[in-house]
Each structure stands twice: as C-alpha cells, then as structure tokens.
Chains A and B, each alone.
Chain A
Amino acid sequence: MAKTLEEINEKIRKGQVVVVTAEEMVDVVAEKGPKGAADAIDVVTTGTFGPMCSSGAMMNVGHPQPRIKLGGGQVRLNRVPAYAGLAAVDVYIGATAIPDDDPRNAVFPGEFRYGGGHVIEDLAAGRRVLLEATAYGTDCYPRREIATWITLKELNEAYLLNPRNGYQNYNVAVNRSDRTIYTYMGTLKAQLGSANYCSAGQLSPLLNDPHYRTVGVGSRIFLGGGIGYVVWHGTQHSPGAKRNERGVPMGGAGTLAVLGDLKQMDSKWLRGASFRGYGATLIVGLGIPIPVLDEEIAAQTGISDSEIAAPVVDYSGPYPERRPEVICHVSYAQLKCGQIEAEGKTIPTTPLSSYPRAQEIAGTLKEWIIGGKFELSAPVAGLPGADSGMVMGPMPDSPPDQADIGR
C-alpha cells in the first residue's frame, strides 16, 4: 500500500516509524519482496563519507571598528586564501584552496598538508582560525588591513555550501602506465597495481533513489553531523548517464548541491584531507533518508552491492586527456572483496570512501528519525531526471585571437 510523506512524518511524531539503513534494507527486500518491504518499512537511511572537493563554507565574520571592506580585497584564513568578492564581510572558503607559499608540486609529489578543508575542520572543531585581510579603503569602509583570531561561535553566520556532493556513482581508478601516479583518487601503482574506488555503494544516497523520486530541492539531510538541505542539483549533474536494467547509473550521473549550518556540525564528519601530489580537500559526511512511499522505492532501496557497477578508468592517459574510455565495469561487491579482474590481471582494491563511517551516518540518521528528532521534508522542486536531456558538457574550446588578448 502506498504511503504519503505526511503519514510517515505522523508516525515519526507518534514514535511508530520503522526505519532501516540501506544495508539492512537489502535483506528486508530479499526476505519480504518489494511489496512486503514497502508495507513494513517507512524510511531507509543512507550515508557516505568521502572526499568531496566541491565543498566550502560561507561565513559572515562581522564588522570591525572601524569598518573594513573585505569585498574586492584579499582575505586569508590560517594563510589559506578565501574568496571575498561579495559584500563587506562575507567570505567563502573553498575546500581545495591552499596557502600561496605552499610548495605545491614543486617537489613531486607534493604533500598539501593544509588547505581550505582543514580550515573548515578547524572551525567546526571550535579551534581558533587567524583571519588576515587587506583592503583598498573607502569613505564608508576606511580600514585597509586587519588581523584577528576568529572562532565559529563568534561568526554571525557560517554554513557549509557545497556545489557538488554525493556523486551518484563513481569511477574505479587504475593506472596502466609504468610509474606510480598521484591523483584525487589516491596513489595508483603502475601497471594496474592498484584500483581505487570511492563510493559507499549500496549505502550511497543517490544510488538508493536512482530516478530522484524522493530526493529534491528542499530535502532535509544529514550533513557534517548536523542537519542540512539539498538546495539544487549539483554541478556536473548528468542524469542521462547510462543505466543498467534496474535503472542504476553505471558511472558518474547525478550530484547534489547541499547547504547546512556549520555551527551544528561536528569535525568528526568534516575532515580536512591531503591527497599526495594532488591537493587538499574536505572529507564530508552526508546522509539522506528515503521515504518508502511505494513498492518501486522499496525495490530500489533494496538494491545490493552486487547489482551496482562502476566503470574502471585509466587515470594515466584516458582520464587526463578526457578520452571516454572505460576498461570494464565491476560491481561494488567485487570491489569490496578486495580484488578485481581487469585486462587479465588481478588488481587489489582500495575504498577511499569509508564504509564504516557511511554505516555510522546511516545509523545516526536512523536514530534521529526513530527518536523523533528528524522529520522528512517533501522536495519543493525535483532534480532534473534522465528525461531532462541534461548532460555534462566540456569547456568551450574558443581560444582568443590576438585582438582579444589584453582587451
């Protein structure tokens, strides 16, 4: 029998709601079938904890006396450059920003020990962060420089605003070349010596709602240990990606833009990270509840790792050169076993995205819902689906001619 979201929320208020994690749902559906599962279960919780470069924090740092116009000036947080092309004291710090004097890859592979993601972790942990800024000075904002320690609780507003999180599925990265390569997918050993993947598979949010039937703009979610919202489809959202017979994308596909109050969050779920030879980033904890409105949703939340395939891509040539070349597809069940077969070779696998933390997030969200602390919200607008025709395009290739340069 189909349910409405309001009926589910009513059950949450009455303490009668039945919630399982997406991992537990696999067994429920196997045992009761989709129909029985839809009758028995109200909500399925998902989770993922992995590096998500397109993340950052927006904050209002308050006005000093006398005032300063950071907008158009230069701002550093613990020496990491932040974006200030906004009103006077609004600042955005991106996860991959690094100090100007970081050696980067000058000695290869660089370490990238501290960046924007670490600033966000420090703020979330309540640690003080040094703000240093210079400005040009105006009649209304006369000050030209400032340096002060700031802490999260002193900021007027601070919210995570991540343009792209929760990729619906992802590549498995390998390296066919003769040297070790250092990528955002971690260190990849030569001659297919390692295969790194980065998805929670059956626990991953959008893999449990492959057609975006319940997740949309306005969905309330677990973000960084606090409550957040889906605010838009994420950048590079590509719902038209190839799907298997169960409708599950066989690669990249959907993404989410999310927002949440940093003041509620916990540094346990927001961790600055360094990828050798690649850069700094932020590991983000994200969890989304899926209301089991009907049999079809029950069936899809019951999909297991063996039914989700990921494309194996060579990061030594085809990826950097943007050649759409896939070596083969492997299932998350195979990936989690520890080795895959490709091109006649047995390759050891490494997760990157933490499955135990994904379980913990799905479990926490489950407790919040059962405890009546978290109600589900109906999206106010859907995410573009497979029929939207939306695809991720390349960068325009229109080099300027001589007359354009220096205009």
Chain B
Amino acid sequence: MKVAHRIVLHFPPAATDQPIIYRLSKDYDLVFNILKASVSPQEEGLMVLDLSGEEADYQRGAEYLRKHGVQLQPLVQDIRKNDDRCVDCGACVGVCPTEALTLERPSMRVLFDPDQCVVCGECVPCCPVEAMELRF
C-alpha cells in the first residue's frame, strides 16, 4: 500500500552532515519533497518534508531515521500567536528555525509571520506563557 506523510524531522548535530535524506530515497525507495529546511553542519537541524512510498518502506525508512537519532513528528495544522498573552519575551524567536518569529527593532516587539511558519511546533513548548497556540 502506498502512503504519503508530511513530517518534521529533527536532526541531532552529529547527523546533519550525513547524507541521510539521500539514503531514504536510494535504500528505501521513498520519494521526498523538501518543503523547508534549516540544517547546517554541526548544528541541530530541522526539516519539513513530504515523504511517500510503500508503507513497509516508509516504516523501514522511519526506523532508519530514528536509529540515526533523527526525531520524526507529524506536521500539525496551524500555529497562532495569541497577542493578548504574548509578553514579547523573545524566547520563541531563538528556537524558530525559519523567520516566522522575529524581533522587530528597535521596538523589540515579537512579530509572527504565518507565511514563513513551517508549523514545526518548536515555539509552543518554549513559550513561557502559552501564547503560541497549536491547532490540529
């Protein structure tokens, strides 16, 4: 049976400079389409991609990723910033892999641009006042 999944991959620093995604296609026959990536050598990385292929291959591919310390997470639907709760502390800006959350200067206000958001969910647990809301 064919499956297609949109997933978020979290790479540990050691895994980012290995050709992991290439192996997925070569050894596991999976078709991938990278939607967003922020992976640079020697740092923790994050990638959002569509992955499709045979169910059994997908499961084996997922196992291969986990074995290399890569975390898999299904992509959620929607992220919102609740401006009534946000205190402009900036804690989310540091963890956002894209430029969806930015600090405007010199006002030092935190701005959220939904178009840049890859919905990785990183900002949600990191916000101290639960201002970043996840909707499935």
Q: Which residues of A contact B (CB under 8 A)?
A: 49-51, 109, 111, 113, 178-180, 186-187, 189-191, 193-194, 196, 271-276, 281, 283, 336-338, 348, 350-357
Q: Contacts A111-B125, A272-B129 known; list 17 others, CB within 8 Å.
A: A113-B130, A178-B13, A179-B13, A186-B126, A189-B94, A190-B13, A190-B43, A193-B44, A196-B94, A273-B128, A276-B125, A354-B87, A354-B88, A355-B88, A355-B108, A356-B88, A357-B88
Write 17 A-B pairs (CB below 8 A) sorted by A numbering: A178-B13, A186-B91, A187-B126, A189-B44, A190-B43, A194-B95, A271-B129, A273-B129, A276-B125, A276-B126, A350-B94, A351-B103, A352-B89, A354-B88, A354-B90, A356-B108, A357-B87
Complex contacts, A354 vs chain B, CB 8 Å = 87-90, 108
- What 1/0 mask marks residues of chain B from 102 to 122 whose CB sits below 8 Å from any chain A CB? 010111110000000000000
Partner of A191, one of B43, B103, B128: B43
The secondary structure that dominates the A interface is: mixed
Contacts of B105 in A (CB 8 A): 336-338
**Which of A49, A193, A273, A336 sits near B106, CB closer than 8 Å?**
A336
Shortest Cβ distance from A185 into B: residue: B91
Which 8 A/B pairs are nearest by Cβ-Cβ distance? A273-B128, A355-B108, A350-B94, A351-B90, A194-B94, A350-B90, A354-B88, A186-B91
Residue in chain A with minimal CB distance to B40: A193
For residue A114, give the distance in angstroms from its CB to the closest CB of chain B. Answer: 10
A272 CB to closest chain B CB (Å) equals: 7
The answer to whether A187 and B129 touch across the interface, beta carbons within 8 angstroms, is no
In the bound complex, residues from chain B placing their C-beta under 8 Å from that of A350 are 90-91, 93-94, 103
Report the minimal beta-carbon distance from B124 to chain A, rounded to whole angstroms. Answer: 10
Interface residues of B, dominant DSSP: loop
Q: Does B59 contact A (CB under 8 A)?
A: no
Total count of chain B residues near the partner, CB < 8 A: 25
Complex Cα distance, B42 from A124, in Å, reads 46
Q: How far is the CA of A348 from the CA of B95 in the complex (A)?
A: 10
B129 adjacent to A283 (CB under 8 Å):
yes
A-facing residues in B45-66 (Cβ within 8 Å): none
Chain A residues whose CB sits within 8 angstroms of the CB of B12 once the complex forms: 179
With both chains docked as a complex, state the minimum distance between the C-beta of B125 and any C-beta of chain A, in angstroms: 5
Chain B positions 74-93 with a Cβ under 8 Å from a chain A Cβ: 87-91, 93
Q: Which residues of B contact A50 (CB under 8 A)?
A: 89
Complex contacts, A273 vs chain B, CB 8 Å: 128-129
Question: Would A51 and B128 count as touching, CB distance under 8 A?
Answer: yes
Say yes or no: A352 contacts B125, CB within 8 Å.
no
CB-based nearest A residue for B10: A180
Instruction: Give the residue among A109, A187, A272 with the most B Cβ atoms within 10 A.
Output: A187
* Chain B contacts for A109, CB-based, 8 A: 125
Q: B89–A351 contact, CB under 8 A? A: yes
B67 to chain A minimum Cβ distance, whole angstroms, is 18
How far, in whole Å, are A338 and B101 apart by their CA atoms in the complex? Answer: 13
Contacts of A51 in B (CB 8 A): 128
Least distance between A349 CB and chain B CB atoms (Å): 8
A186 CA to B109 CA in the complex, in Å?
18
Instruction: Please give me the residue from chain B that is nearest to A193 by CB atom.
Output: B43
What residues on A are CB-neighbors of B43 within 8 Å? 189-191, 193
